[in-house]
Amino acid sequence: MAAADRHLLFGLLALQTGIINQGQLVAAFQAWTLDKTRSLADHLETRGDLPSAKRAILEGLAGIHLETHGGDVEKSLAAVPSNRSARARLA
C-alpha cells in the first residue's frame, strides 16, 4: 500500500501545482494499475503529460513533503489539499 500511496502523493502534488490536470492524472493512474512495473511518473512522462524537467521538480517536492511529515505517506497525503472528485475517481 505504501508504494501506491507514494504514487498517489506524486500525482496529487502534480495536480495541485497545476502541472497536470485531473484527466491526465486519472488516465495515468489507470495505465499504472495495468502496468505497475513502471511508476506513475513514468506513465505521465510517456503519455507526454509530464516533461522530464517538471518530473524532477515534482519528485523533489514529493520528497520534501514526505520529510516534512516524518516520512509518513498517509500523513503526507492527508496534508495535500486536493479536489475530492480527483481522489474519488482514483479510488
pLDDT tens-digit readout, 19-64: 999 999 999 999 999 999 999 999 999 999 999 999 999 999 999 9
Instruction: Output the pLDDT for position 85.
Output: 54
Torsion of CA 6, 7, 12, 18, to 10 degrees: 120
> By the 8 A CB rule, do 49 and 80 touch?
no
**67: pLDDT strictly greater than 70:** yes
For 28, what's the count of Cα atoms within 13 Å in the CB-facing half-sphere? 27
Instruction: Output the pLDDT for position 86.
Output: 56
- Contact residues for 42 (Cβ-Cβ < 8 A; gap 6+): none
